[in-house]
Structure 1
Amino acid sequence: MLLDVLFPSKGGQLKLASLGQAIMQATRPRVLLAPLQVGLGVQLHHHFASRFLIDTLSKLGFCSSYSEVAKFGRNAAITDGTDIPNLTAGHFVQYVADNVDHNVRTIDGMGTFHGMGMIAAITPQMKRNQHIPRGTVSADEISAVGTVNIVPFMPMFDGLRTLCYEKLQIIEKDDPTSRIDDLWQLSFSVRSPRPAWSGFMQMIHKGDHPGQSSVVFLPMIDMDPGNMSCVSSTLHFINQHAQRYGVTPIITFDQPLWWKALQVIRSPANSPLHCIVLRLGGFHTEMSFIGCIGHLMAGSGLQEMLETIYASNTVNHMLSGKAIERAVRGLFLVDSALNGIIVSDVFSVKTPCIEAKSNRANRGDFSVAGDIPVECNMDHTVPESTSEPDDDCKADLEAVGILFDELLSGNTTFSQVHDSEAFTRIHGQLEAKKRSMKNSRTARLWLQFMEMVQILRKFLKGERLGIWDLHIQAMVEMLPYLAASGHNLYTKSLSVYLQYLVKLSETAPDIFQHFSGGLHVVRRSDRLWAGLSADLVIEQVLMRSMKTTGGLTRGRGMTETQRLIWLMAHPHCSEVNNAMQQLTGINYTTNEQHKDTTNARQERDMADICELVEFLETRNPFSGAQGLRNIVTGINADGRVNVDTAKDVGQGILDSMVGKSVLEHTFRKKDQAVTLNISVIKINHDTVNIDPQLLFQRLVTMGTRNDQLQEIFRFELCSYPPALFEGKQVLRSANKPALADAIWSLIQDDMTEPVGQSQYVLDGGSLLHRIPWQRGSTYDGICERYTNYVTRKYLLQTRRKTGTKKQSRCWNIKHVQRVLGEEVCQNILFTHAILGCDTTSRLFGLGKGLALKQIRTDVCFRAQAKVFLDGRSTLEDTAKAGESALVSLYKGSAATHWQTETGTLPTEGSYKCSCVRPENLPPTSSAAKSQPPCISPSPSVERSHNPRSSDLRLESSGR
């Protein structure tokens, strides 16, 4: 009665029940077991596994004690054990197994856990309503319920000996959603920003589906998953588990385990495992295919393009197929930018990025301080903006935009999109343009890239929507590229897997019917666009649950009993957790809205695509050049490169496999596609790829062992000079503003406005960057735009608002001359050029501030500068002066040498860095002879582990 008076409103009923049960539990602790008290304790233990947190709340009377929660877990573990309760004939069951690894924190550093984890996915989901009895459960009882019998693998013969590669007989079927992909691609040019592809597909795909799935954890096998007996035990356990419920065992592995499982299943002639349907994990196949794209596009400029919107280290992981989510987004963004350029060219429309840039230029939205860029790259051509499209194209594009809007709002069906005449005309023109561009090898390579991204989209659609035919077709289309890129393990596994799948309608018609109905995927959400590959589900559910807060690896322990309690009690604890969330209305889940449809993500995607489009403006792969080249460096491919026909190369490899035994066929590297990133030498007629960093480390190691480090350092030790080159074909770009910054740091009395009468000196290159040229413009029109811009910005005495832009700074040039001195001013061009300008490369680790300091303080350095200013200097004089100048910059001394007679080398630098980086070392004479004005930078600089330390010395015959 008292609590009813204190909580009279309806919203206080939950608090009333909670406090009431807390009071009763506190007054009768040995008689009552309050449901909310137990539920809260189980929920906290499920999420955080914190004994301190639970016992603290228990002492305050808000939940049950930790011992009570632990007892609940032990009883829940043996209630069902490995059983699947409430399973009916309408449920579809498939199993997934994967390796589980955890470096257990032990006192001796040993005891790393390697095991096989297993789950069962049931569609549609089932509900648990079992009563959990309260009792004392021993470790033996838990082990008896969850122990997996070990079945040693003792093959009588190798079952793969009789397995041969076959010609795949795949009946291609039309993709019912292909036009939707094309519409989304066109939407960038007519409706930007717009949702990313995955968010767009979720918004438009509504309808019936097989239902949300439930996931049941099965016991782990404490053996190395690579052990054939571990794989055999896994297959026998799952086979027996499926037979208990009268279902066909369907097991999914990643590639290494799949191949071992195939060998186990085929080895005994009369094995009971022959009824197993063995599936190759789609998620890991997707990762391999993305790594295949990264390999084939190596050296094409794709990596540099992605590095404009991602960190360089991240791009390496993306293109290897590891950072899968970022990789998919990045590839889709690049594909959108390329499609936008093609649409712009075909229909004479501006991409949204160029149009916005042009509008800003026409409005004159530039600050005075930023009118003239400090550095203008005059090597790049200026992109031309496109003219207005004709009326028919404009009407078709407007119709496509309306079609896109109506599809998002649900007012248009897929069939109406497919039957749209305007969309059909636009699609036909784009396809014709792509066919015409294939005469250029560079364009053919990038069109091939777009085809590979389309295959990736098709595969993802097959998984998300549960379309079995798309799943098969996408993997068939992946095969040639996997073969061409040297992904041999997935090439052979996927070939054998597809041979089995095309016969599935005959060998297992019931399973084929289930797969055709969309049951080959698992849905963790109750919506159509939510299908997941089975091997991805075990990563998201079992592996993530183990290794996040509340999991096995976060303080619970990894003994057999602890593993079994956590695994078998997990479904019951999840039900309690869900019930508590429904009761309180507080969900430990993410928002239902797809992240790709949020305004923030749409704006970020639009900004990143604009970065890519701007990158491609001066590096257009569809420019029409016949040769094959890197779009960033412009380096042309040699005669060996055939990556632009990778599909044909891969198909040739697949054709050569037909009829051969899977054990006897050998993949040859010479049959693979040769990429633009080739960097090889031949040793005894064998082609060997060069890794500059690895080569350098090995040479230094060998030189150190033989006490010949001085002799070793006379050579470059890399396939290209890393002190001068960022990559194999990319010079280090000069940081030209650094010299001005170093000069201004010496001048304290700068001003915000010029004093007295001013005269502006403009860099013409800045106007090229600021004022885009429009297609069809005359020189008179361009000149008029230039003069209008200059007049408006510099000749008209307009006052700028303060506080809205960064204020400009002015220096009195005469005062700067007095501070620097006459001799420094005379040699300022040499100071600028020696460490990087438009015609020379920047030297790694040496800034222009160092050159300014040397020209002011070092008499010897100034003497070498005078040689470059003397028109009578010979080539030898210039080379010698350049050597002495760079020796001075690298802190060398011509008067000191290594103590070669005692064989000692300075080692102080080796303690200052953990890794010897070749770019830290000065370049050799031969490497830098072609860099003006320094003909020979430092032929006598001897390099130690830390060349910028005070230990750097000179050797007359060294660098």
Structure 2
Amino acid sequence: MNKIPFWTGYNCLLSKKGADVTVVAYPPIIDSKPNDMATVYTAMKKCLDMSNDAGQDYAIQTFDQQLYAIAQQVKWSKPDIFNRHILRLGGFHSLSCFLASIMKLWADGGLRDLLVDSGVFAGNTAELMLNGKEFNRAVRGFTLVFEALQVLFISAFIHWCRTFDYFDQIPSAFWNVLLEFHTSICDQTDQASDIKTRLEKLFEDHVQPLIGMFKEWGHDTSPTFKYWDMFLVAVQIMLSNVRAERKDKSKAHSMVFGVIWALKKTIIKDSKGSGGIVGITNQKSALIRWTLTRHLLASFSNEMNDRAGITCKSDNSHEEIKQTALKRDEEQVQAIVTHLNQTMTDPFDIDAHPPCLINISTGMHATREVQDSLLFAVDEGENMCRKFVKSALSLDQSGSFYSPITKSKLKTFEHMNAKTTLKCKSGEIITGHINPEIVFRRPLVLANSRDDVTIESILSLPLGPIPVSLFHEDGTMRKCCKSDLVKQFENEVSPVLSLPDFDPSLTTYIRDGMAIVQCMDAKKHKTFGDLALAYCNYLASCFTKAHTVADVFDRYDVKHSIKSGERERRTKVTAHAKVFQVIEGRNVPDWKKFLSVKDNKKALINFVCDFLFKIIKSNPLLVLPGHTYYMAGSTEDPEIAKSSSCRTCSLSGCDTTSSLFGIGKKSVYKVLKDAVLDFSDLYNLGDSDTETAISCSRRFVARLYDQKKKYASCHQDINKLRVKLATSKDSSLVRLPPSEAALRQHILRASFQTKIWHASCLAKPPLPSPLEYGWKSFKDSLHPVYFEGNMSADFLHDLVCSCKGKSQCKKSCVCVDQNLACTDLCSCQGSESCKNVHTHALTEEV
């Protein structure tokens, strides 16, 4: 197990103990509106007087985001009084905005899927994190991804150094000091800080220049590399600011933050009750007494806690240094790395990247407009900042400080999603890209103010063209970590060091042929003939264990395959790779690039088969009928569990079916294990009785979303469950179960996959057409049917406005009439010229 603590614990080990807080003053509370300019002036004047009494040259004061602008205006209006007053913006609000910016740039590029599908965070938690909320979890989540990506970055860097013969430029002294530093951190010795200083000097002299060259090469070669390297830089800025807030770092931040952190741990903590002033009293006199005495009670509270030993000032240990935290952090980082390697595209493996920017989760290629917008977002932000300073803060008064700030119109992967069609009051039809969550939230607001709209009618149909609980916004299937199911099985059984005695003559050995080919070390073999010979030798060694060995390969010659979508997703990132002719004397090319092309795999399988027939003509490979035994865990009825496992696997997501957002294999296994008798009729999935299969599958999916059976009466009607979950708690659209129309198509696809698995022992199974089971043919390939019938957006009107002119969104605006903010799909586009007060209120809140 890794013994190096996570980021916070690591910095605690290297940080020297700061000076103890000597005196903490508890000033009285001002009983007035915080955003009133007189209140801010009084607070600033009081701070200045206290600083003068203490003999300080400057008065340093921190304000939250909303009050900071007011404080600056007070300072500008009275420069003679506040010329020695230094105002600081609260670090929490600054970082919250910065976290929201990270979400804007990288969430739809694969960050959201990485946080959820790796199993580290639940779907609803990830949504809150990516919206700038759940501050502590967001910082931790981004730091986990940062550490996982650093693992891949360092691996790619070392590979680059060896490829271009730069590895010898790193002296052995660097590796020796690195090993020494690693040992000191693991043993938590006092010399770690001094060794770190030596290591940093060696790193700056010998390694950092090479990393700069590697980054420059990566940026010039791959837009995807540059895109995710920008993410590493952004998270590093976030972490530097967090550390500067917690530690007195004059170079990284103003020294004031050492004081601010002391205030947060003393005054603010002691002065606040469990819920602040909310719910204390409605009587004005009692509230005045609380205001006038709270600072005194806070000081008493602090002293009593110290005297009682409740607070221990000498305890410098951190939770992340403890063994349980070390194990948890290592497992979560490894889970992200594993998920990146198995189901996503390595953002720093340039050999696997096409010439354009891609979504590392879905493989979607960004348009030139989206690519340039994302890669130059920082430059555009700097230009807009300079423009604002020059116009709003310059002496020539060319602009107003109070004027709305123009939106950047940043294009992200979200703008490449399926388009939504909406109808305006004027009869105009607007089609464009819109966040599905907006389409979800706006009708729910309308349901409270319009008689023709009800929540039941809205949620009974899919809200947009893509059911986001089953598919990404770009239309590709959601995926989960399928190996989690195997891990759950492993946890339920005892390990066996060796197999029991068996008769090899009655044994059939079945292997995944393509997995064996992919694991072969192609660098050891010069030609395809050498590779095929090594494969045959490995195959021959298996006959000591079994009379028959069957190597199973995927079919790449089937024109309409339900796995074509998954193959396209996997190979989309390497669309530029070459197609090779596989012959015995040809040299083996780059193995990873070669196997990334479907036609190369097909040619390789044919070549290996022909090679086998030439060498082993007298030993044909046959699949003999027999019995297969496997452990299904400790359930109430193992036989039912065995018959249901493959069906639940197809329902919860495999290569040909979607997974449900935020519901992994662990949750599926838990439900099946705890209530296997409730779903004994799942064996109908894959049989001819389609309606029975849909009914039992619907109940199983409903249980996945309502595991405590709080709304058990709605499990037979998935649309009713959608309404219950949407109205009982603040669930986002992606966290709701799919509508009945979308779920039906999903169950049909799962049923067809189950049919294939049931007929896997037949050479040419008589399967029905996939077009009858949730698939459609488009451009010589199969694509999933999202749903049949209408969607809510088809009959919902007045979701957006068509206001035009100078006084747009001021009169007769449907958004204003319904207390809604204008969106990008409105004619006004929610710009600064929009007169809708709700639009600007929403902008200020964000």
| TM bracket, shorter-chain basis | 0.5 to 0.7
1:620 aligns with 2:314: no
Q: Quote the Cα distance in structure 2 between the aligned partners of 1:460 and 1:831.
A: 44
Contact 2:509-2:546 within 8 A present in 1 as well: no
Deviation at 1:336, TM superposition (A): 2.4
Q: Which amino acid aligns with 2:9?
A: G
**Which residue of 74, 82, 99 maps to 1:290?**
99
CA distance in 2: counterparts of 1:729 and 1:670, whole angstroms: 28
Q: Is the 8 A contact 1:337 1:613 kept in 2?
A: yes
Secondary structure of 2:217's counterpart equals helix
**Candidates 233, 249, 252, aligned match of 2:59:** 249
Structure 1 counterpart of 2:712: none
Give the C-alpha shift of residue 445 in structure 1.
0.6
Q: Which SS does the other structure have where 1:221 is aligned?
A: coil
TM-score w.r.t. the length of structure 1 is: 0.51
Q: Which residue of 2 aligns with 1:561?
A: 289
Change (3 A) 1:555 1:784: farther
* Distance apart, 1:436 and its partner CA: 0.7
TM-score between the two structures when normalised by the length of structure 2? 0.56
The yes-or-no answer on 1:330 pairing with 2:141 is yes
1:675 aligns with 2:403: no
Alpha-carbon offset, residue 213 of structure 1? 4.8
Deviation of residue 432 (structure 1)? 1.6
Structure 1 residues 346, 925: closer, same or farther in 2, change over 3 A?
closer
Q: Which residue of 2 aligns with 1:453?
A: 235
**CA offsets 1:799-844 (integer angstroms, 9 cap, x no match):** xxxxxxxx94499xxxx99x99xxx99xx99999899764344689
Residues 345 and 242 (structure 1), Cα distance of their counterparts in 2 relative to 1, 3 Å cut: closer
Q: Is the contact between residue 831 and residue 852 of structure 1 (CA under 8 Å) also seen in structure 2? A: no
Residue 121 of structure 2: aligned partner: 310
8 Å contact kept, 2:392–2:400:
yes
Cα deviation, 1:378-437, whole Å, max 9, x if unaligned, reads xxxxxxx99x997776946632423524875427456533443x7733333222212111
* Distance change >3 Å, CA 725–CA 229, structure 1 → 2: same
Matched, 1:839 2:656: yes
Asked whether 1:934 is paired with 2:774, we answer: yes
- Cα–Cα, structure 1 residues 428 and 237, in superposed 2: closer, same or farther, change >3 Å? closer
Structure 1 residues 719 and 639, CA, compared in 2 at 3 Å: closer, same or farther?
Answer: farther
Answer whether contact 1:732 1:842 (CA < 8 A) is retained: yes
Mapped to 1, the partners of 2:142 and 2:480 lie a distance apart of 30
User: Among residues 913, 917, 921, which one is paired with 2:739 in the alignment?
Assistant: 921
**1:867-946 counterparts in 2 under 5 A?**
909=720, 913=724, 915=726, 919-923=737-741, 932=771, 933-935=773-775
Taking the TM superposition and a 5 Å limit, the aligned residue runs for 1:717-736 are 717-722=463-468, 724-725=470-471, 727-733=473-479
Aligned residue among 257, 267, 270 for 1:521: 257
Within the candidate set 504, 508, 532, 1:760 is matched to 508
3-state SS of 2:24 partner: strand
Among 138, 151, 155, which residue is 1:340 paired with?
A: 151
> Matched residues in 1 for 2:278 and 2:456: separation?
50
Cα distance between partner residues in 2 of 1:592 and 1:432? 40
Residue 604, structure 1, aligned to residue 328, structure 2: yes
Note the alpha carbon deviations across 1:498-544, whole angstroms, 9 max, x for none. Answer: xxxxxxxxxxxxxxxxx6xx4x2335xxxxxxxxxx2x554443443
- In the alignment, the residues of structure 1 paired with residue 485 and residue 225 of structure 2 have an alpha-carbon distance, to the nearest angstrom, of 40
TM-aligned CA distance change 1:334 to 1:444, over 3 Å: same
Deviation at 1:634, TM superposition (A): 0.7
Q: Give the aligned residue type for 1:655.
A: R
Larger radius of gyration: 1
Query: 2:327 and 2:632 mapped to 1: Cα distance?
Result: 37
Q: Residues 456, 924 of structure 1: CA spacing in aligned structure 2 closer, same or farther, 3 A cutoff?
A: closer
Letter in 2 for 1:616: L
1:427 aligned onto 2:208 = yes
Shift in alpha-carbon separation, 1:416–1:588, aligned structure 2, 3 A: closer
Q: CA deviation at 1:278?
A: 2.0
The offset of 1:292, in angstroms, is 1.8
Gaps (5+ residues) in structure 2?
A: 394-398, 487-498, 526-530, 549-628, 700-716, 728-732, 750-769, 777-784, 793-846
CA contact (8 A) 1:299 1:676 kept: yes
Does the 8 A contact of 2:37 with 2:74 survive in 1?
Answer: yes
- 1:862 is matched with which residue? 688
Are the aligned partners of 1:693 and 1:718 in contact in 2 as well (CA < 8 Å)? Answer: no
Deviation at 1:266, TM superposition (A): 2.8
Q: Are 1:249 and 1:276, in contact at CA under 8 Å, matched by a contact in 2?
A: yes
Superposed CA deviations along residues 56-113 of structure 1, whole A, max 9, x for unmatched, are xxxxxxxxxxxxxxxxxxxxxxxxxxxxxxxxxxxxxxxxxxxxxxxxxxxxxxxxxx
In structure 1, runs of 5+ residues without a counterpart are 1-190, 351-384, 472-514, 524-533, 741-751, 797-806, 866-882, 892-905, 945-959
Q: Which has the higher contact order (CA 8 A, sep 6+)?
A: 1
User: Residues 761-776 of structure 1 correspond to what in structure 2 (within 5 A)?
Assistant: 761-764=509-512, 767-768=515-516, 772-774=519-521, 776=523
Render the CA deviation track for 1:587-616: whole Å, top value 9, x for unaligned.
556832233333333333322222222122
Q: Deviations over 1:426-461 (max 9, x none)?
A: 333222212111021111011111111222233344
Q: Distance in 1 between matches of 2:718 and 2:654?
A: 34
Q: Which amino acid aligns with 2:269?
A: R
Alignment of 1:811-822 (within 5 A): none
How far off its partner does 1:852 sit?
8.7
Distance 1:393 1:240 in 2: 57
Measured after TM superposition, the shift of residue 686 of structure 1 is: 10
More divergent stretch after superposition (400-409 vs 656-665): 400-409
Cα deviation 1:691-750 (Å, max 9, x = unaligned): 32441454477688227999978974214124642655442459999999xxxxxxxxxx
Measure the CA separation in 1 of the matches of 2:651 and 2:245.
57
- CA RMSD after TM alignment: 5.6
Q: Give me the identity figure in percent.
A: 21
Partners of 2:409 and 2:719 lie apart in 1 by 47
The answer to whether the 8 A contact 2:507-2:547 is kept is no
Q: Is the 8 A contact 1:304 1:632 kept in 2?
A: yes
Please report how far the alpha carbon of residue 646 of structure 1 lies from its aligned counterpart in structure 2 after TM superposition: 1.9
Letter matched to residue 774 of structure 2: C
Alignment of 1:539-688 (within 5 A): 539-547=264-272, 559-581=287-309, 588=312, 591-618=315-342, 619-624=345-350, 625=353, 626-641=355-370, 642-662=373-393, 664=400, 671-678=408-415
User: In 1, distance between residues paired with 2:263 and 2:457?
Assistant: 55
Q: CA contact under 8 A between 1:306 and 1:315: conserved in structure 2? A: yes
Q: What is the distance in 1 between the residues matched to 2:168 and 2:718?
A: 75
Question: Does the residue aligned with 1:250 lie in a helix, a strand or coil?
Answer: strand
Q: Aligned AA for 2:109?
A: S
Cα 1:201–1:926 change in 2 (3 A) is closer
Partner SS state of residue 600, structure 1: helix
Q: Does 1:706 align with 2:452?
A: yes
Contact 1:681–1:689 (CA under 8 A) maintained in structure 2: yes
Contact 1:213-1:522 within 8 A present in 2 as well: no
In the alignment, is the contact (CA less than 8 A) between 2:436 and 2:464 conserved in 1? yes
Change (3 A) 1:885 1:700: farther
Deviation at 1:228, TM superposition (A): 2.8
Deviation at 1:632, TM superposition (A): 0.8
Q: Distance in 2 between matches of 1:914 and 1:330?
A: 26
Paired amino acid for 1:764: D
Q: Secondary structure at the match of 1:218?
A: coil
Question: Equivalent residue of 1:762, what SS?
Answer: strand
Aligned to 1:133: none
1:260 counterpart residue number: 70
Q: 1:714, 1:786 → 2: CA distance? A: 56
Q: Counterpart of 2:45?
A: 236
Q: Residue 200 of structure 1 corresponds to which residue in structure 2?
A: 10
Structure 2 SS opposite 1:521: helix
Structure 2 counterpart of 1:664, which letter? S
The 2-side partners of 1:792 and 1:668 are apart by 75
Contact 1:547-1:554 at 8 Å conserved across structures: no
